[in-house]
Structure 1
Amino acid sequence: MKHNFDEIIDRRDSECKKYERAVYPEDVIPMWIADTDFAVPKEISNAIIKRAQHPCFGYPIESFEFEKSAQRWEKTRFNWDIEPEWVKYANGVLPFLMYAIRALSYPGDEVIIQPPVYPPFSAIVKNNGRQLINNALVQDENGKYQIDFIDLEKKLKSPRAKLLFLSNPHNPTMRSFTLEELTKIGELCLKYSVIVISDEIHCDLVYKGHKHIPFGSINEKFANISMVLINPSKTFNTAGFRTGAAIIPNEVMRKNIQIIIEDNKNYGRTIFGMLTFITAYTECDYYADELMEYLEENRDYLLNFIKRNIPKIKISEPEATYLMWLDFREFNMSQSELKSFLFEKAKLGLNDGATFGEEGKGFMRLNIACPKSTLVKALDNLKKAVDSL
């Protein structure tokens, strides 16, 4: 590989939230928050170093290179033809969820989410005075999560239902939704005039045999009722630059979102945020490809290890993301007992499944975007802890 994903990088004392000393002592392996332990591509670090050599960092111009790079990535990677004018900038993906709520609904309106799901979805809805409506995903006989379309239609029928927050690929259930599933969602949302806000931050992280489909790419009607949110941070380990984009084909929706952006004084762009976004999406295709090769090996190692050594832990086939959703319910522990066991006995810092909703109780989320040697040690720790029970 061109990039060395086996390199061990000491991230402690680098203002790194994942390895915060006050929370994670030296003997605990943090495998929780959704960033990687890999160095960024050389193209990104070189671009930053070159720009940092200029001694002035005043207000940057809003060049269209940012929008064009998003256009290139969607076309090159997912064969979606978008216009640069459809692209909006913000300091991350999450602000666009808030903008959508404020621009496209009124206080008391309903926003539908599909738990277990990324915790900020519910927090943003509640913090902005909207009603949170759950369309919980359900597991089939193999543990694979499926959309409950009967329940979804029931929730969409409500006259106050205005938005559906879609996690595509889905975090934390590791689903890469199929064309059939996404089409069914789109048809129901068209039927009941509900707008889809599709968080596609994990779009590059899809395993062989599966395919990421941008929601707005399916047809013009779906594009007209959607915002697609993207950010290179998960793929290229650039979350600290806080830069994301929304693709909004509908002109009226785009103008309404812009009004909220201006009301919140969030129209200023950052020099290094734009630089990393543009460089990632124009020069680093090879890195995204190699990353998935490496993650696939880590995923397979984890699946085989658990099957052979800790069969009480259940996991469905991961279709996407480097965030593995582990089912510990056979251990018959309370959530607090499970968290303590994994932290104190297995020496692992994982995400508490309960934070993803009531449906996440008994689960924990484990991040495999690390050198394989780290994963091997973590799983050995887990086995020893389970064997000691």
Structure 2
Amino acid sequence: MQYDFTSINDRRAIGSRKWSIVPDEVDPLNDKMYPLTIADMDFAPVPEIKTALQSFVGHNILGYTAPTPSYLQAVCDFFEKQHQVTLDPEWIVTTPGVVAALAAAVRAFTREGDKILIFTPVYPPFYRVIREQGREVVKCPLVIAQDGMYHMDFANLESLLSRENIKLLFVCNPHNPAGRVWTATDLSRLAKLAQENNCMVISDEIHADLTYPDIAHTMYFKALTDFTEAAMVCTSAAKAFNIPGLQTSNIFIPRSDLREKFQNELAASGIQPANILGLYATEVAYTQALPWREEVLQVIKTNYNLVRDFFANLDNRFEVMPVQASFLAWVNCAKFGVKREQLEAVFRAVCFFVADGADFGSEGDYYFRINFGLPTAELKACLDNFAEKISPYLHSIE
């Protein structure tokens, strides 16, 4: 490969949220006890982005800034090439991250007490930005079909939309935590139901650019009859190019009235546009770093296969849901037949640092989410270490 996908560093000294979970007495690099929780990747920075930022900082004032015409065009060109959808630069509103955009959208497009629908289990901030702002969460649980993957329950969705007066609907596309890529048919049915029930749809597509090569990702806009429908799509280079700390997202809102409401809410809340370094890094990512993205896709697909096969061989009571995008696997432990608190305690005891499925909703109580975005050799060593340490516990509950 052209790029470095083998180096790994202990990131605790720089305040990494993911690495801070590792206790001080653990030496993660030597002990092969890596944090596999928060969704960023432990690969060396993209060289094109790193070099460009070093040069930029060396020659420019780091002041308040706004997206340049070249930036906006680069973003639209990227989506036209990679997702086959033509977007207007005027539709873009930049924000310091997708979660900030979701929270602002809740305030802009709903009132306290309004109902917002989510497909569960799902990324924990979906719950927080709704509940903590005085709105009501309406859950439409995903169902597991014979293919072992999540599917939308359209009968339930239609029933909820028709009787609950839902104002807003969040969809995670691809889905987090399961890496499920919704099909064009799924999204078209969703868009039709939303339109019929006067419900706005917000699609979080932050993981879209890590869809596996053999899977087709459909941007939500492609499911619309036209751009007069109430819709907003949240995008970012954060996941695909491993720059989430730069807190930069591009929010597409085609309808000018909705875009104005959203922008007014950002201003009223004091939420600033994306920062100067994040904007520049995003433009570089979309124009110069596509070869890196192609290689990292190969690595994470290899890593997914490693995770899937590892748990199948370790104990078939672990069930890894098929993954179609990104570097997160959703693993079911229900077949062990023990309380989730017992499993959680065992994982803590053996220093297996993964995300607790309960944080994604009650539907995730017997799951954990594992981040496999790290060098393949290090991932294998970490999993092998886990297998050795957990073996006595597994035998004790046979």
TM-score (norm 1): 0.95
Is the CA contact (8 Å cut-off) linking 2:233 and 2:253 kept in structure 1? yes
CA–CA distance in 2 between the matches of 1:200 and 1:190? 20
User: Which residue of structure 2 aligns with residue 319 of structure 1?
Assistant: 324
Query: Contact between 2:67 and 2:279, CA under 8 Å: does it hold in 1?
Result: no
Cross-structure match for 2:335: 330
Once the 2 structures are TM-superposed, how far is the Cα of residue 217 of structure 1 from its aligned partner?
2.1
Q: Greater shift after overlay, 297-306 or 186-195?
A: 297-306
Q: Residues 220 and 184 (structure 1 numbering): CA distance in 2 closer, same or farther, change over 3 Å? A: closer
Q: Is the 8 A contact 2:203 2:234 kept in 1?
A: yes
1:343 aligns with 348
Point out where structure 2 has 5 or more consecutive residues left out of the alignment.
394-398
* 1:12 paired residue number: 12
SS at the partner of 1:235?
A: coil
Offset of residue 239 of structure 1: 1.0
Larger CA deviation: 142-151 vs 265-274: 265-274
User: Could you say if the C-alpha distance between residues 190 and 268 of structure 1 is closer, same or farther in structure 2, counting changes exceeding 3 Å?
Assistant: closer
- Aligned equivalents of 2:21 and 2:142: distance in 1? 36
2:280 to 275, 279, 283: 275
Task: Judge conservation of contact 1:41–1:284 (CA < 8 Å) in 2.
Answer: yes
- Partners of 2:225 and 2:189 in 1: how far apart? 15
Match of 2:218, SS? coil
Cα-Cα RMSD: 1.7
Gaps of 5+ in 1: none
Equivalent pair of 2:96/2:272 in contact (CA under 8 Å): no
Comparing 284-293 and 354-363, the one that deviates more: 284-293
Tell me the matched-pair count. 388
State how 1:252-263 maps to structure 2 within 5 Å: 252-263=257-268
| 2:377 corresponds to 1:373 | yes
Distance 1:21 1:99, change over 3 A: closer
2:38 is aligned, of 26, 33, 36, to 33
1:302 Cα offset (Å):
1.6
Runs of 4+ in 1 over 6 A off after TM superposition: none
Alignment partner of 2:234: what SS?
strand
Q: How does 1:209-224 map to 2 (within 5 A)?
A: 209-221=214-226, 224=229
Match of 1:302 in 2: 307
Letter matched to residue 357 of structure 1: G
Cα distance change of structure 1 residues 172 and 61 upon mapping to structure 2, 3 Å threshold:
closer
**Aligned with 2:141: secondary structure?**
coil
CA–CA distance in structure 2, aligned partners of residues 13 and 51 of structure 1: 25
Deviates more, 1:181-190 or 1:142-151: 142-151
1:176 corresponds to 2:181: yes
TM-score normalised to the size of structure 2? 0.93
Q: Do the aligned partners of 1:186 and 1:222 also contact (CA within 8 Å) in 2?
A: no
Q: Which amino acid aligns with 1:182?
A: L
SS at match of 2:176: coil
How do 1:146-165 residues align onto structure 2 when only pairs under 5 Å count?
A: 146-158=151-163, 160-165=165-170
Question: 1:95 is matched by which residue type in structure 2?
Answer: A
Q: In the TM superposition, what whole-angstrom CA distance separates every residue of 1:201-237 from its partner, at most 9, and x where no partner exists?
A: 0001112331111001233436732111011111111
- Distance across 2 between alignment mates of 1:197 and 1:153: 17
Give the fraction of aligned pairs with identical amino acids, expressed as a percent. Answer: 29
Amino acid in structure 1 at the alignment position of 2:124: P
Which residue identity does 1:373 align to in structure 2? A
1:343 deviates by: 2.4
Q: Contact (CA 8 Å) 1:118, 1:171: kept in 2 or not?
A: yes
CA contact (8 A) 2:10 2:19 kept: no
SS at match of 1:157: helix
Which residue pairs with 1:88 in the alignment?
93
Partner of 1:3 in structure 2? 3
Hey, what's the Cα distance between the residues in 2 that align with 1:337 and 1:279?
Answer: 46
1:16-165 matches, within 5 Å, as 16-20=16-20, 23=23, 25-26=26-27, 27=31, 28-54=33-59, 56-158=61-163, 160-165=165-170
Q: Label 1:78 to 1:268 Cα distance change in 2 as closer, same or farther (>3 A).
A: closer
- 3-state SS of the aligned residue for 2:320? coil
